Structure 1
Amino acid sequence: MKIFIIIVLVLLTSCSNRTKKSEQTSIKNLNPEKVRKTDFITSKTDFIEFLETIPELELPIEKMCYDDFTSKRLDYENKAVAKFKPDGAHNIYGKILISENTIGIIYLYPADYIFPSLVIYDSNAEVISEFDFFEGYCGRDYNFYSSSFCSINELLQISRIDTSLTYNMNDEDETIGIEETTVTKTSYLIESNGKIIKK
């Protein structure tokens, strides 16, 4: 009987040791770097590298829809630039510091005139909000003219003024009088959390 009890105790101890050893081996095989390495951390590192390639803009910014948006040519071979630059964006005008956790980037899109768009990110490269500088047509047609003005001031207030004129033409295609004028002004505020609200 004593021999039987001793054998059982030896077997139980052996099984327990094997189980502990197995658990230790499994945990040891989990590479901590692989566990911690997520898209979030990789994106954050690449995003910082991306931001470093973009010039910082001084406020206020005041632009008409037909104005020139001269910008520094970016290195599109840079993997960080290629990763974060939106499809279709021709270039990047610059960045605006919103708060310690949010930053805005103005992308430039090709059109009859350059089309700028502000995209605000958090520190994890997640898009918080977007804002197009201009809306509608910019330029002249037969009896119609339209323009748009946009500004961002030091208080992160956005103002957009859209103006359209309809005028009469004579047989020689000369303007003989304005028929209608429409001016629309809209105001927005960029909050510290990166959200853009209409005032």
Structure 2
Amino acid sequence: MKKQYLAVLLFCLVLVNTSAQNKSTEPTFMEYAASLPALSLPFHTRCYETLIRAETGHRPELIEKFSGLDVAYIYGRLFQSGPYTGIIYLYPGDNVIPVLVVNDTLGAIRSSLHLSQSYCGESENSWGIDFASIRKDYSVRICDTFSLFRRDHESRILEHTRRNGMKCTDYLFRDGMYKEVR
């Protein structure tokens, strides 16, 4: 009985010690952010642009913790302003979607903004492209240009049905949050 008790006690001590070591080796948010490649402002991107993820060596669980995204890759650190840090992550999909995430100094997510918010590319009856700009004051403009149309029985666009447009949305950065300007 004493041997079993000692074995359980020893196992618990090893488990607690290993857990404490793992916690101490995980970087703080500020260490994590400082290790990311720095991006410059103004920053511009288009939905068809190939953005290459940064190889940082950070575990996916750590990236998920600080990005709030279940699957994401790091693109780079965009800004550090007072107690806030803006990082661009790449979210995989049909097109890679850049996502701007703002964290406080402890790593808590304050704001998240998808920089690609519309359809990109061509389909049977539409064509579209979106683009985003982040200015030096951290404000963001996301624009979507589109063309909607119908086709004839030979798949040619019926020009008289074509409707072109562009919609832009602006966001201001205040107190760690992005708010849409109306």
- Superposition TM-score, scaled by structure 1 size: 0.69
User: Structure 1 residue 185 and structure 2 residue 176: aligned?
Assistant: no
Aligned to 2:82: 100
Matching residue of 1:5: none
Q: CA deviation at 1:69?
A: 0.8
Q: Matched residues in 2 for 1:168 and 1:78: separation?
A: 44
Q: 1:78 to 1:53 in 2, by over 3 A?
A: farther
1:93-172, aligned counterparts within 5 Å?
Answer: 93-172=75-154
The gaps in structure 2 that reach 5 residues or longer are 1-23
Determine if contact 1:50/1:81 at 8 Å carries over to the other structure. no
Q: Is the 8 A contact 1:47 1:80 kept in 2?
A: no
Q: Which residue pairs with 1:33 in the alignment?
A: none
Work out the percentage of aligned pairs sharing the same amino acid: 26
Structure possessing the higher radius of gyration over alpha carbons: 1
Distance apart, 1:81 and its partner CA: 4.8
Question: In 1, distance between residues paired with 2:150 and 2:117?
Answer: 24
More helix by share: 1
State the match for 1:84 in structure 2. Answer: 66
Please state which structure has a larger fraction of its residues in strand: 2
| Partner of residue 37 from structure 2, selected from 20, 42, 55 | 55
Task: Give the deviation of 1:87 after TM superposition.
Answer: 4.4
How does the TM-score come out when normalised to structure 2? 0.75
| Contiguous gaps of at least 5 residues in structure 1 | 1-41
**What one-letter code is carried by the residue in structure 2 that aligns with 1:51?**
A
The alignment yields a C-alpha RMSD, in angstroms, of 2.6
Q: State how many pairs are aligned.
A: 158
Contact 2:63–2:72 (CA<8 Å) still a contact in 1? no
